[in-house]
Amino acid sequence: RIAEAMAERLKEPDGPEIVLINPEGCEGWLEAKAMDSARIRLMKMVKDADVHDRFRIYYPVNEARTSIYVHAKMMFADDRIVKIGSANLNNRSMGYDTECDLILEAQPGEDTLSEKIVSTRDDLIAEHLGREPQEVRDAVAAHDGSIIAAIEALNRQSGRGLLPVKMRELSADEELLAESDIADPERPSGVRYRTSNFLKQRFGRVARRAKRARKET
- CA-CA distance, 53 to 68, in Å (whole number)? 26
Q: What is the pLDDT of residue 192?
A: 52
Which one is predicted more confidently, 53 or 178? 53
Which one is predicted more confidently, 111 or 188? 111
Q: What is the pLDDT of residue 151?
A: 98
Which one is predicted more confidently, 41 or 193? 41
Q: What is the pLDDT of residue 2?
A: 84
Per-residue pLDDT reduced to its tens digit, 151-180: 999 999 999 999 999 877 666 665 655 565
Enclosing H/E stretch for 101: strand 101-105
Of 154, 27, 15, the residue nearest 77 (C-alpha): 15
Q: What is the pLDDT of residue 166?
A: 86
Give 59: exposed, middle or buried? Use CB within 10 Å, 0-12, 13-18, 19+: buried
Q: 10-31 in b/e burial notation, b at 16+ Cβ within 10 A?
A: beeeebeebbbbbbbbbeeeee
Which one is predicted more confidently, 26 or 206? 26
DSSP string across 192-204: HHHHHHHHHHHHH
Most confident option among 63-67, 177-181, 200-204:
63-67
Say how far residue 212 (Cα) sits from the centre of its chain.
51
Q: Mean pLDDT, the chain, as a whole number?
A: 82
- Radius of gyration of the chain measured on its C-alpha atoms: 22
Residue range 13-37: mean pLDDT, rounded: 79
List all residues 6 or more positions away from 141 whose beta carbon is below 8 Å from its beta carbon.
Answer: none
% pLDDT > 70, the chain: 68
- CA-CA distance, 82 to 78, in Å (whole number)? 9
Most confident option among 83-87, 102-106, 198-202:
102-106
Residue range 15-43: mean pLDDT, rounded: 78
Q: What is the pLDDT of residue 22?
A: 92
Q: What is the pLDDT of residue 187?
A: 57
Of 50, 64, 61, the residue nearest 19 (C-alpha): 50
- CA-CA distance, 1 to 6, in Å (whole number)? 9
Per-residue pLDDT reduced to its tens digit, 85-102: 887 766 666 666 678 889
Q: What is the pLDDT of residue 83?
A: 95
